[in-house]
Amino acid sequence: MAQTVCPFCFRRINSSRLWFQCLGQGNVECTKEVDEARVRLTGSKAETFPTFPMPSDRSENRLSSGPASAPCPKCGYKARRRACPECHTALPNELTGSTNAMIGLVGARGSGKTVLMTVAVKELRRNVGRRFGASIQLIADNPDGFTSRSAYQDGREASLYDRGNLPPQTELLAARDGHATPVVLRWQQEKARLFGGNAPDSTLMSFVDTAGEDLGDQDTAFTLKYLAVCDALMITLDPFALPGARARLNLPSAAILVGEDTPLDVVSHITEVLKVEHEVRRRRRIKIPIAVVFTKIDAFYSGLDRGNPIMSTAGLMPAYNNGDGAAVHEHMLALLHEWGASDIDAHMRLNYDDYRYFGVSALGAEPDYVGGMVAPGGVQPHRVEDPLLWLLSKTKTVPVA
Amino acid sequence: MQFDEAGYVQEFLRKAGRGQSLPDDLLTRYAITLPASDAEIGAQLKAVRACWTKHYGGSNFAAKAAKLCRAEDERLRQQYDSAMEKASWWQLRRDEQSAAAQESIGVLAAELRRAYGELGVVTAARAGSLAESLGLAQQDAIEAVGQAGLTLVAAADLPQVSPIATFSALQRDMAECAASSVPELVHPASGPFRLLDRYECVGDPQKRLDVLAVEAQIATAERRGNSATDTARRSALQALRTALRDGVDLREVALFHLMKAAEQRARQSAALTAESLERAGLERHDAVALAVMLFDQAQVGQAAGLDQIRKLIRTGGLGEASQIAASLPADSSVRPEAVRLVDEARQRLMTLLAAATEAKAVPDEAEAARLLREAALISAEDAAQALAAVPLPPPANLRAICDGMQVKLYWQAATGHDGDTRYEVYRSEQRTPAAPGDGSVVYRGAEQSCADAHAPVARELHYCVFAVGSGRQSSRPAPAVVTLVPPVTQLQAEAGPAEVTVHWSAHPDVHAVLVTSVAGGRPPVAVPTQGGTGRLTGLAEGETQDIEVVAVYRAPGGAELRSAVAQISATPRSEARPIPRLRAKPVGTGGAVRLLVSWIPVDKSDVRIMRSDAPPRWPFGTWVSHDDMTACGQEVTGRRFTERGEERLEAEVPAGVHHLVAFSIGGTGIVRGHAVAVGITEPVRQLAVTLFASHATVSWEWPDTAQLAEVTWKAGDDADCFVISRAEYRSGGGARVPLGGSPVTIEVRAVVVADGTNFTSPPAVEVTGVTARPEISYAVARSLGMGPLGGRPTGLTFQSAQGCHGVRIQFVARPGPVMPTTSDGTFVLAEKELSLAPGGTAQWPVDASRVKLKRPYWVRCFVVGGEARLLDPPISTLKAS
């Protein structure tokens, strides 16, 4: 039985026993309706055709992944589209009988998660895909709560890249009916077969933009569910919240969106949740890889030596450059100590087995914080893909060099 | 005793809030019911006070009453304090209240006896309203009626309007045939009858007021003669029959008839009314009851009449108010007040009418109208009559302007003109028109301007505008005087190689047209004319002729009047040749981008450059009309000068791609020359360079018109130039320029493509401050990693492609997990000066045994003297953990 996680409702599901979803093309009229299960588990009120399980006589064969199609009980249409048995959201066919990587994205409110996720998703689809010879596509029908992929691209990407508008502060989960809709990407790439030759292989990545304050409320069911199933986690931290770092800059008050104690608080909250949800025993550390991402690093360019690895790029080889990543980690660690934030490193060292620091900039230049506009030169991302590639290397999706 | 809050609010607070003060009944106010214990009283007071607190914050009747209750309660608490919470206190209040009520009942009984004692009956409604005014309950009213020895009668449902439409005619006919009542008409000489509950003839209860009875009387009447009395009787009976057929109850008609007959008396005395009703045949009991009801109605009606008078005086109904006041009985209590109100209003009206008459005499029609509007609020009828005699104010600011061959007139509405106001414009040649219809009509309508296209020329024209409106006299005239001397129109010039011909159009009444020409500073020359044409010949090619044309008119007295001068210039030219080559490029001047167009002149023709978004539709050398030329785009205008034998035009044009075409205007027409496309774009703005390890990211703000940019960089001997598209820029997060050891000069130009050619904007330039520093890479050799002392650094190897000289290097170690970023606070394991030939290497032995290093620790090299950049080896060789 292949256990995987639904990238939309974060329930653990048997990928060999996925349900079917009708396309409404049978002999009898089949109508789209709001699916109560989907509303309850994902908050999405999109109307869909009926979602139904595979016939019981066939589902009992535990050795196969079931039939490729099943007739719709309403209209008789031979449905091939698969859906999550829990939330009834349509799933890509690649999920059948496979696993996928759940990469979480959490951080304090104002630490730049939304901008980072928008730019990282764009970079993955545009530049990283080319670098790895992979096809990376958005697959959710309502990424990040938008009504469609085109609406997401217009509301998030075109808004940021073409119109230069910074996204507004992400609403707390409480204001979003307790749900956050993920951005789901499919990484499709040729991989060597065991007995020679290549075959296309797919991995799904699910990112959820969760406002940091939601973590403060550990009772938030969605957050718990989400963190419990993450295979890897990105934690964004705003260096502007560190007094030692902020002292080196001349920032406008509008740029400081996070309180001074927030970075360590956020990391502590996450640690507590992960320890509980991943059932970490006393005197044990958390096993899942954690990328600690310091955003807005462009503000420190002028103070960094050109030879500093943070100021270089990892190169264009189709693999994660581990040596470069290690160098950046050590330099970020040195910076943390210079900024007087060694308590964050102490916390990470004592609670996590596998973590790495990253310094990234999604915008590349200081935006107009008051006007909410990107710098006149546009979006100039720096190293935003590094944390994702490191985490993907941990799940064996990308090779390591 | 349970406090019913909803009932208390509904029954007490809301009702009490409608009055100006609270009722004196404290037990009702505090919802106290006796007998009650002290505890119950206390609880009730607490609940009632809480209710007041809950409701006093609003703005409704309940809130108003709650506020009054709280204030009164505060006063009572100050006076009686905790005594209020005792049952004995409330029993005392109840006794006081009972005594006061008995006294009031006595007063009420006396009043009832005085007013109704003669008849011995009173209506329940009347007794109730008098009781209420004394703060008594309905039960008290009944007690008072008993004390007064009166009988209480229930109010009957009296008709307030006539049950039939022809009641006036019926009333007249009954008067003519001496029928005192409807029962008397239908059942003559049948004796007294009752009507209040139902019709009942006292002598014969079988009689009915129905159609059979009426038909029988009609038949009887028809058998009689044709005297006026008989005719009136038949007519009255027929009216009753019609009413019966329409479903009307004749009892109501009979009752209404009696009421109307007793109406006048009812205002004066109930006893007299009863007597008259009894005379009309109504049985005594009904007569008394009806008389009392009518008397009560009249009392109420008189009070209402005063209110109506006040309202009528406020709304322009003084006449009606005056009539109502006059109709009030002489002994009515409200009559003096009604008369006073009417007299005062009439006095104010007279004052306003007199002031309006004075304003009209000034004349100030607007002020007069304003005063009359004020008067209309008192008496609309009088004000309207006076207003009809006040003319409208004349239009304001009349202006008469000669425009070509017509006179245009403009005016403004005066105060008091409205949407119904119309204007009439008249013209006269001798004198100012005095009134509408005096002179020739020029315009009639609601607009505030007009044009006189038939105005005679060369004489004084007197125009007047009148305002006219329905129901008002027309205004005084608003005058204007003007003399029309129109110049020639449609003046055009045609130039040939040696001649110029001018054409014009003149007014039909023109006496002569004088044409003169001036050229080359010589004295003016008269041009011979014929009809609407003048012709100059034998002119030098290229010499501009300034031509002036004047129209001459004769006034009625014979005087000569000259029009304004019309001017035109023309240059004799030979046949134009097309411009064979036109060049255009953007140039940057003072930070702005301008267009420079140049061509080599081929003749003396007038060359115009037109620009448009598309290429011209005619081929090179096509002859076009002037209209075609102007329709093909906008003319490029700007600074024109000659340089190196070229004619040049520098102009500002909007950014974008422009198609330019040269037109040569000669003596025989306009010919299309060479066309060229040019792209104009603003320069890039906000150029920024961010330095990274091996490259610089160049970013800028793109101008809207450019999709491409040209990036040029120069560093020492290295240089390159590349074009980057917006999409590439966005994908790469800017443009990348490699960095070496030298300062880099970066220029960025916006590029716009027109007709396959790249046109660039002026550059934005940035010079980076990169200093030349040779790069030195190094590697750390370590001993075998056995035991705690294993893996210690034993030597260093340096290598540099560029070479270096006199660079002082420290090799340091620092315990702990954090990498050293400077040599401060570290153990120096080695320090030497390093010089390397290009591509050379050097090796240093290191003795780390003198320093006690415990894992984890770091080793690292730093430059402490000289110029060089150290490239760290892999982290794994620097960190021991």
Reported as a single tens digit per residue, the pLDDT across B834-873 is 999 999 999 998 888 777 778 888 999 999 988 888 888 9
- Per cent of chain B over pLDDT 70 is 97
Q: Residue B786: what pLDDT?
A: 56
Q: Residue B705: what pLDDT?
A: 84
Most confident of B30-44, B244-258, B401-415, B780-794: B401-415
pLDDT score of A81 more than 60 = yes
Q: With contact defined as beta carbons under 8 Å apart, do B833 and B806 qualify?
A: yes
Nearest partner of A149 among A189, A184, A105, judged by Cα: A184
Cβ contact (<8 Å) for B692 and A312?
yes
**Among the partner residues B690, B693, B821, nearest to A312 by beta-carbon distance:** B693
Q: With contact defined as beta carbons under 8 Å apart, do B393 and B468 qualify?
A: no
pLDDT band for position B467 (50/70/90)? Answer: very high
Handedness of CA A394, A395, A397, A399 (dihedral sign): positive
* Residues of chain B neighbouring A380 (CB-CB closer than 8 A): 690, 697, 699, 733-734
* Residues of chain B neighbouring A315 (CB-CB closer than 8 A): none
* Residues of chain A neighbouring B688 (CB-CB closer than 8 A): 365, 375-377
Q: Which chain B residue has the Cα nearest residue A128?
A: B731
Q: Residue B484: what pLDDT?
A: 94
The residue among A306, A321, A343 with the most chain B CBs within 10 A of its CB, best to mutate, is A306
Quote the CA–CA distance of B274 and B297 in Å, as a whole number: 14
What's the longest Cα–Cα distance across chain A?
Answer: 70
Q: Which chain A residue has the Cα nearest residue B734?
A: A380
Looking at every residue in chain B, the average pLDDT score rounds to 87
**Among the partner residues B685, B692, B734, nearest to A311 by beta-carbon distance:** B692
pLDDT score of A62 more than 60 = no
Cβ-based contacts under 8 A for chains A and B: 90
Among the residue ranges A367-381, B49-63, B757-771, the one predicted with the least confidence is B49-63
- Is the minimum CB–CB distance between A280 and chain B shorter than 8 Å? no
Q: Which chain B residue has the Cα nearest residue A158?
A: B730
Q: Which chain B residue has the Cα nearest residue A321?
A: B874
Q: Which chain A residue has the Cα nearest residue B775?
A: A307
Which is higher by pLDDT, B649 or B75?
A: B649
Q: Residue B298: what pLDDT?
A: 75
- From residue B713, give the alpha-carbon distance in Å to each of A307, B253, B697, B760, B767: 22, 113, 12, 16, 9
CB atoms under 10 Å from CB of A56, counted, come to 7
Instruction: Measure A123 CA to nearest chain B CA, in Å.
Output: 8
pLDDT score of A178 more than 70 = no
* Residues of chain B neighbouring A330 (CB-CB closer than 8 A): 819, 875, 879
Q: With contact defined as beta carbons under 8 Å apart, do A75 and A29 qualify?
A: yes
- Could you tell me which residues of chain B have a Cβ less than 8 Å from any Cβ in chain A? 685-686, 688, 690-694, 697, 699-701, 729-734, 739, 817-821, 869-872, 874-876, 879
Q: Within 13 A of B690's CA, how many CA atoms are on the CB side? A: 29
pLDDT band for position B751 (50/70/90)? Answer: very high
Q: Which chain A residue has the Cα nearest residue B868?
A: A307
Q: Residue B695: what pLDDT?
A: 85
Q: What is the pLDDT of residues A339-378, one digit of tens each?
A: 999 999 999 999 999 999 999 999 999 998 888 899 999 9
Quote the CA–CA distance of B443 and B554 in Å, as a whole number: 27
Q: Which chain B residue has the Cα nearest residue A157?
A: B730
Instruction: Measure B760 CA to nearest chain A CA, in Å.
Output: 19
The identity of residue B538, as a single letter, is G
- Residues in CB range of A73: below 8 A, 6 or more apart: A50, A52
Cβ contact (<8 Å) for A306 and B699?
no
Residue range B190-213: average pLDDT? 89
pLDDT score of A60 more than 50 = no
* Residues of chain B neighbouring A342 (CB-CB closer than 8 A): 818
pLDDT band for position B358 (50/70/90)? Answer: very high
pLDDT score of A132 more than 70 = yes
Among the residue ranges A326-340, B220-234, B539-553, B601-615, the one predicted with the least confidence is B220-234
pLDDT band for position B427 (50/70/90)? Answer: very high
* Residues of chain B neighbouring A163 (CB-CB closer than 8 A): none
Nearest partner of B517 among B480, B488, B550, B487, judged by Cα: B550
* Residues of chain B neighbouring A312 (CB-CB closer than 8 A): 692-694
- Residues in CB range of B744: below 8 A, 6 or more apart: B696, B713, B714, B715, B737, B767, B768, B770
pLDDT band for position B411 (50/70/90)? Answer: very high
* Residues of chain A neighbouring B691 (CB-CB closer than 8 A): 301, 306, 311
B371: tokens are 């005063």
Which is higher by pLDDT, A109 or B686?
A: B686
Q: Residue B623: what pLDDT?
A: 93
pLDDT score of B459 more than 70 = yes
The residue among A161, A329, A330, A331 with the most chain B CBs within 10 A of its CB, best to mutate, is A330
Instruction: Measure A113 CA to nearest chain B CA, in Å.
Output: 19
Instruction: Measure B879 CA to nearest chain A CA, in Å.
Output: 10
Cβ contact (<8 Å) for A378 and B690?
no
Q: What is the pLDDT of residues B707-719, one digit of tens each?
A: 899 999 998 888 9
Quote the CA–CA distance of A267 and A215 in Å, as a whole number: 10
**Among the partner residues B686, B818, B871, nearest to A334 by beta-carbon distance:** B818
Cβ contact (<8 Å) for B876 and A334?
no
Q: What is the pLDDT of residues B770-790, one digit of tens each?
A: 666 788 999 998 877 655 556
- From residue B206, give the alpha-carbon distance in Å to each of A338, B196, B216, B286: 122, 17, 15, 19
Q: Residue A381: what pLDDT?
A: 94
Query: What phi and psi, each to the nearest 5 degrees, are found at residue B133?
Result: -65, -20
The identity of residue B203, as a single letter, is G
- Is the minimum CB–CB distance between A313 and chain B shorter than 8 Å? yes
Q: Residue A139: what pLDDT?
A: 80
Q: Supply the Cα-derived Rg of chain A in whole angstroms.
A: 22
pLDDT score of B334 more than 60 = yes
Quote the CA–CA distance of B869 and B775 in Å, as a whole number: 5
Quote the CA–CA distance of B511 and B556 in Å, as a whole number: 12
A75-101: burial string, b at 16+ Cβ within 10 Å, e else: bebebebbbbbbbbbbbbebbbbbebb
- Per cent of chain A over pLDDT 70 is 88
Cβ contact (<8 Å) for B690 and A301?
yes
- From residue A396, give the alpha-carbon distance in Å to each of A99, A133, A231, B767, B879: 12, 16, 12, 44, 27
Cβ contact (<8 Å) for A382 and B729?
no
Q: Which chain A residue has the Cα nearest residue B821?
A: A334
- Residues in CB range of A157: below 8 A, 6 or more apart: A118, A122
Q: Which chain B residue has the Cα nearest residue A346?
A: B817
Looking at every residue in chain A, the average pLDDT score rounds to 83
The identity of residue B431, as a single letter, is R
- Helix axes B250-266 and B284-314, enclosed angle (nearest 10): 70
CB atoms under 10 Å from CB of B384, counted, come to 14
pLDDT score of B472 more than 50 = yes
Q: Which chain A residue has the Cα nearest residue B695?
A: A312
pLDDT score of B442 more than 70 = yes
Instruction: Measure B49 CA to nearest chain A CA, in Å.
Output: 43
Nearest partner of B467 among B362, B599, B369, judged by Cα: B369
Cis peptide bond prior to B35, omega within 30° of 0: yes
- Helix axes B250-266 and B167-176, enclosed angle (nearest 10): 80
**Among the partner residues B692, B700, B869, nearest to A377 by beta-carbon distance:** B700
Cβ contact (<8 Å) for B699 and A338?
no
pTM of the model: 0.57
Quote the CA–CA distance of B194 and B209 in Å, as a whole number: 12
The residue among B725, B726, B730, B862 with the most chain A CBs within 10 A of its CB, best to mutate, is B730
The residue among A302, A380, A384 with the most chain B CBs within 10 A of its CB, best to mutate, is A380
SS3 label, residue B608: strand
Dump the DSSP string for B477-533. PEEEEEE-----EEEEEEE-SS-EEEEEE--TT--EEEEEEE-TTPPPEE--EETTE
Residue range B179-202: average pLDDT? 89
B40: tokens are 């119950």
First to last CA, chain A: 33
pLDDT score of A218 more than 50 = no
pLDDT score of A63 more than 50 = no
The residue among B684, B699, B768, B877 with the most chain A CBs within 10 A of its CB, best to mutate, is B699
A264: tokens are 């360590």
- Is the minimum CB–CB distance between A276 and chain B shorter than 8 Å? no
β-pairing, B500-505 vs B512-518, is unpaired
